[in-house]
Amino acid sequence: MASHRRPKQPSRTRVTVLTATAAAAVALTSQAAQADPKPTKGEVKAKVDKLYHEAEAATEQYNGAKEKQEKLEKEVSALQDKVARGQQEINTLRSGLGSLAAAQYRSGGIDPSVQLFLASDPDSFLDQASALDQLTAKQTESLAKIQEKQRVLAQERKEAQDKLGNLADVRKTLGEKKKQQQTKLAEAREVLNTLTQAERDKMRADDLRASRAAGNRVDLGNGAPASGLGNGAPANGAPANGAPASGLGKEAPASGLGAAALQAAHTRLGMPYSPSATGPGSFDCSGLTQWAYAQAGAQITRTTYTQINQGTRIARSQLKPGDLVFFNNTTHVGLYAGNNTVLHAPYSGTYVRYESMNTIGGFQAAVRI
């Protein structure tokens, strides 16, 4: 007779172990499938460059807000001084009005006909009466002056109050842009730290080599490469040759002004990029262009967003050395140096250098000061 014995059921402990093992295997397989491959050095550089450009955009917005803040602070200070002077003038007029009123009260308590009858010298009394009429006229004039001064003072106080409100808004924007800038820079550093030290060193060496090659394409007319960077980046951030450019390349300068600005910027080769810095020891992009033109004797505004509206807009095909060139939706500016090369302060962690226009970013516009 065949046996129909029921198969032995696995113990609860054994089922639990098998289930846990299977779940772990599935999880590991899923994680392996979902794990992103380590980004290449090129991908890391592209992401870092994007973050630096975003940080630079925040820097330029911060610079614009800071410039507006400084202007508002001056205007508020001038208005407050004006209000204080106006109040002093009103106080003086009120004091004079009080003296006139007191004199009128002292002599105005008796009917004029009685005063004439009692006067020992009628002629003298008539002279006094005439003087009182003049006092009344002066009093009326003083009252009119006080009313006008009070009206003007009220307007000035309101204007000062409005500007103080604007100043508070600008200061809030400053804080927001500063935080945004710092966040983007921190993100960039975090991405960079996914590379090994050797990879980061090679990235910097590649940037230096590219800068030197770009500078060598700019003929300064003295037989020396325009880059002035020698065989490596300056150890102390100073330009290696320490001398201004003596010529401006194969393309004729746009003007003596543009030539002088480019020569001035050339002396800053190797100086570090620093957000919101305007030189002479460190710069951001628009700080460098503003400083360079100031050395040439021309005052231009502080930010990329305002510099692009100065001078004369020109096409890329019309570029001459010394012209301002703008990239990445007006977040970056440099000085054209000829041969498709720009002299600029790129972004945090770099230094003033020459670079091909093809590697900076999207060309937007050019301006000749």
Catalytic residue chosen out of the listed positions 4, 53, 266, 344: 344
Strand arrangement of the beta sheet that strand 332-338 belongs to:
312-314, 363-368, 324-327, 332-338, 341-344, 353-356
Q: What string of DSSP letters covers 89-105?
A: HHHHHHHHHHHHHHHHH
4 counts as catalytic: no
Q: How many CB atoms lie within 10 A of CB 152?
A: 15
Within 193-231, residue ranges assigned H as helices are 197-216
Q: Is 344 an active-site residue?
A: yes
What pLDDT is attached to residue 11?
52
CA proximity to 366, closest of 207, 258, 219 = 258
Q: Residue 80, exposed/middle/buried by CB under 10 A (0-12, 13-18, 19+)?
A: middle
* Residue type, position 129, single letter: A
Q: How does pLDDT run along the chain (369 residues), one tens digit per residue? A: 454 555 555 555 444 444 544 454 444 444 444 555 777 877 887 888 888 888 888 889 899 888 888 888 888 888 888 888 888 888 887 777 666 566 655 555 544 544 544 455 656 655 655 555 555 676 677 777 877 888 888 888 888 888 888 888 888 888 888 888 888 888 888 888 888 888 888 888 888 888 788 777 775 444 445 655 443 344 333 343 333 343 444 565 567 899 999 999 999 999 999 999 999 999 999 999 999 999 999 999 999 999 999 999 999 999 999 999 999 989 999 999 999 999 999 998 899 999 999 989 899 999 999
The residue annotated as part of the active site, out of 4, 53, 266, 285, is 285
Buried b (16+ CB within 10 A) or exposed e, 24-52: eeeeeeeeeeeeeeeeeeeebbebbbbbb
| Catalytic residue list contains 332 | yes
Contacts of 214 (CB under 8 A, 6+ apart): 227, 341, 353, 354, 355, 356
pTM comes to: 0.63
Q: What pLDDT is attached to residue 147? A: 79
- For residue 193, give both structure tokens: 């730290």
Q: Residue 232's pLDDT is what?
A: 38
Residue 9's pLDDT is: 56
- What domains lie within the chain, and their CATH numbers? 41-192 (1.10.287), 200-368 (3.90.1720.10)
Instruction: Provide the token pair at 304.
Output: 């990329």
What pLDDT was estimated at residue 105?
55
